[in-house]
Chain A
Amino acid sequence: MKRLMCFALSLLLLTGCASAPAGQRAAAAELEADVSSTRHVEAMDTIMALSAYGSNREKALDAAEAEILRLDALLSTGKPDSEVSELNRTGTVTLSEDSKKLVNCAFSLHEETDGAFDVTVYPLMQLWGFPEKEYHLPTQEELADALARVGMDRLRLEGDTLSLDEGQEIDLGGIGKGYTSQRVMEVYRQAGVTSGLVSLGGNVQCLGTKPDGSLWRVGIQDPWKTEGEIAAVVEVEDQAVITSGGYERYFVDESTGETYCHILDPKTGWPVKSGLASVSIVSPDGMLADGLSTSLYILGLEGATQFWRDHSEQFQAIFIDNQGQIFVTEGLKDAVQADAGFTVIPQSEKSAG
C-alpha cells in the first residue's frame, strides 16, 4: 500500500516535472550559452536588429549599440557635424582611424572594379534626387555637369589628409554599413560573445554558428515580392551576407513608364541596367561584401563572374537576373537552397562549357 502511495506521488511529481525541469533550468542559467537577447537600434536611416548569445550578451549589445551610434555620427552625410559632412563642406579633412580604413578600402575597390565602385557619385545621387527621395529625371546638361565632379581618381590622399577636387562630395555609405557590421562582430568578440548576428537594414553579418553548432540561415530577398519574401536561403558561419538590388529604391517616370533604380553607373551617370535584379555577397569581410554587392551589380553577370574568378578567395556570390534565374558561385553550391533551383558558376571557365 505504501508502495502504491509512493507510485502515486512520483506520478504526480513526474507530471509537475514535465512543465518545470527545475534542475535543468538551473544548469542552463549557469551557462546561458543558448540564451539570446535582441535589441533594435535606429541609425544610418534604417532599423538595425542585433542579437547575441551567452552570459555576456547584454554587455556585448550595449557596446555594439554605442559603436553603431559612434560610427553613424562619424560617417553620416545627413549630420552636419560628421567627419564626412565636414569634408564635403570644407573640401579637406584629417581622417580618423575608422575613416582611414574606409577610404583605403574604397580606393582599392575602385581600382579592382575598374571604377564601378566610386564614393564620389554623391552629386549624381543628389541630382537624381535619391537621398531626399525627391526624384528628378536630369537633362543631358545637368548630367554632364554632375559627372564632371565625379571620379575617385581626383581625390587626393596625403598621409591622413583627404582632399576633394572642386565641387566633389563623397558618401561612404556604400561600405559604411558593411564596416559597421564588421565592427559589431569585433565588439561581440571583445565582450566574450562567440555567437551573434546583426542585420543592419538588410545587411547581415554573423559571428560563429548558432549555440547548438548549426549554421545561420539567411534568406535572400525575392526582388519581385514584398519585403521579407525570399528567393533563396544561404547557410553560413562567420560571414557577412550583403545584398544590393535595383528594387531597393527606384522611381518610375510616369510619362514613359520607365523605371530608374538608385544604383548609378559612375561612368555614365545613369541608373544601372545590367540585366541583374540583385547581387548578394558572402564574405567574412563585411566592408568588402558591402562594396562588392553594389559594384558587381553594376558590372552585370558576365563582368561579375570574371571578377569573382579572379578574387574567389575573398568572397562568394549569389546573383538573381531579371528573368528570376539564380546563379551561385561554386563555393556556395552546398550552402544555398532555392525552390526555383539555381545554376552553379564554376571556378574554372573551361568546365563551364
Chain B
Amino acid sequence: MNKRLRSDLLLLGGLAAVGLALFALLSLGRDDGVQVLVRVDGVVTQRFSLSEPRSYTIQTRDEGVNELRIDDGAVWLESANCPDCLCVKQGKIRYAGESIICLPHGVVVELSGQDELALDAVTQ
C-alpha cells in the first residue's frame, strides 16, 4: 500500500463521514408530527411543531399583528388588530390540512403533515 492509496482512502472516509453527517442532520431536522406553517402574503415565515407549546407574534404589513398560540395539540390566534377579527373567531385547529385565515393581514396559519389521517376540509 503506497502513500497515495492511503490518502485516497482517507479522502473516501472523509467524504463518507460528511455524507453520513448530512444524512443524519436531514433526518433529525425532519419532524414526523404535524407542522404549523405561518404564511404572510403567501410566503412561509415560520414553521413550528404542533406538539411544542409556544406563543408567537406574527408581524404583517401595515403594522398588522396576530398573536399565535400553540398548546395542547392545537393552534389558534389569540388576538389580532385586524378590523373584523374573523381569524380569532375561527378558533382552534388541530388536524393536518386545516387552516386559519386572516385576509386583512394576508396571514394563513396552516397545519401540514405526512399524517395519513390528515383532513382535506372540515364541514361545519
Contacts and interface: CB of A to CB of B under 8 A. Distances in A.
A245 B123 CA distance: 11
Given A227-B92, A228-B93, A218 B124 contact: no
A198 B97 CA distance: 13
Interface of A: 1, 4-5, 7-8, 11-12, 14-15, 18-19, 40, 42, 47, 49, 197, 199, 202-204, 206, 210, 216-221, 226-230, 233, 241-243, 245, 248, 280
A47 B101 contact: yes
Interface string B16-35: 10110011001000000000
Instruction: Give the 4 A-B CB pairs with smallest separation, nearest first.
Output: A221-B124, A202-B124, A227-B91, A219-B122
A40 B22 CA distance: 38
Interface in B1-20: 4-5, 8-9, 11-12, 15-16, 18-19
Given A202-B123, A202-B124, A227-B92, 15 more contacts: A8-B12, A8-B15, A15-B22, A47-B101, A49-B99, A197-B121, A199-B122, A206-B121, A217-B117, A218-B121, A220-B123, A228-B93, A233-B119, A241-B121, A243-B123
Nearest to B12: A8
Contact of B123 (A4, A7, A47, A280): A280
Chain A contact residues: over half helix, strand or loop, or mixed?
strand
Interface in B98-124: 98-99, 101, 103, 108, 117-124
Contacts of A1: 4-5, 8
A281 B94 CA distance: 24
B90 interface: yes
Scoring A15, A199, A203, A241 by chain B CB atoms within 10 A of each residue's CB, the highest score goes to A15
Interface residues of B, number: 34
Contacts of B22: 15
A248 B124 contact: yes
Nearest to B15: A8
A220 B8 CA distance: 62
Contacts of B97: 217
B5 A18 contact: no
B86 interface: yes
A40 B101 contact: yes
A210 B97 CA distance: 13
Given A218-B120, A218-B121, A219-B119, A40 B108 contact: yes
